[in-house]
Amino acid sequence: MNKIAIFGANGRMGRVLIEAIDANEQTSLVAASVRPDSAWVGMDVGELAGIGKRDLAVSGSFEKLANQIEVVIDFTLPAALEANLAWCVENRKPVVIGTTGLNPVQKALLSDAAKHIPIVFAANYSVGVNLMLNLVRQAAKVMGHTADIEIIEGHHRFKKDAPSGTAMAIGEAIADELGRDLSTCAVYGREGDTGERDQKTIGFATVRAGDIVGDHTALFAEIGERLEITHKASSRLTFAKGAVAAASWLLNQPAGLYDMADVLGLKS
């Protein structure tokens, strides 16, 4: 039984992760934390996730629980990353990170921490999305030098970062295949007289509405035809199951920074 802990148990993904770990016969939730001043401290994790009492209380920290934990999953906010990583490094706990919207400094923290512990960091833990990243590379190789490339993504009204981490990962995969630097070729908004489109740019369009779980499309448009590669998620449980699978996989890995392509064996 793989013993897993969750940072940010009261978040939207935290609650679904509780459900996913509980449903997996190979995993056991041994700790779930929230901020020490949170009203959720002391609540049963099963009741928090809406799956019924599980006789495990939400805690304000992992300090007294470290010996029980084998691997941690973190889907919190960028502001919490430094403290969460520091705890994992200090206690030598592998960690799966799904927090998006990280800045360059925070990404550097990940790289530094990965010298000491194994880390899986991915913008999206869906199997379908990670297959999509492979497919857009193939499309870019064949069509990218002549097609106009646009990435369209949609999420629920509560999402705080834009474009999504998944949209950026799609853009980075395409740019890498084409030998371009996404930081210089990305276009994030168009308004007014923008002039004709530069074919070497990669455009991003963002939708925030209702309860959209996650829609992503990579569009390769030529004169006379276009190719659209689309993934649509209908449940957060998809991402949670992928993160739990990554946590189990990570237990057998040496220190290093991995992604879902490593977990799924998609790298050649």
Catalytic (active-site) positions: 155, 159
Query: Which residues of the chain form beta strands (DSSP E)?
Result: 2-7, 27-33, 71-74, 95-97, 118-121, 148-155, 186-187, 202-208, 214-222, 225-233, 256-258
Distance CA(53)–CA(74), nearest Å, equals: 23
How many whole angstroms separate alpha carbon 204 and alpha carbon 199?
Answer: 14
What are the backbone dihedrals phi and psi of residue 73, each rounded to the nearest 5 degrees, phi first? Answer: -120, 130
Q: Which residue has the tokens 């609540």?
A: 43
**Residue 51 near residue 18 (C-beta atoms within 8 A):** yes
Which phi and psi angles does 121 have, rounded to 5°? -125, 120
Number of helical H runs and strand E runs in the chain: 9, 11
Cis amide bond preceding 163, omega within 30: yes
User: How far, in Å, CA of 259 to CA of 175, rounded?
Assistant: 18
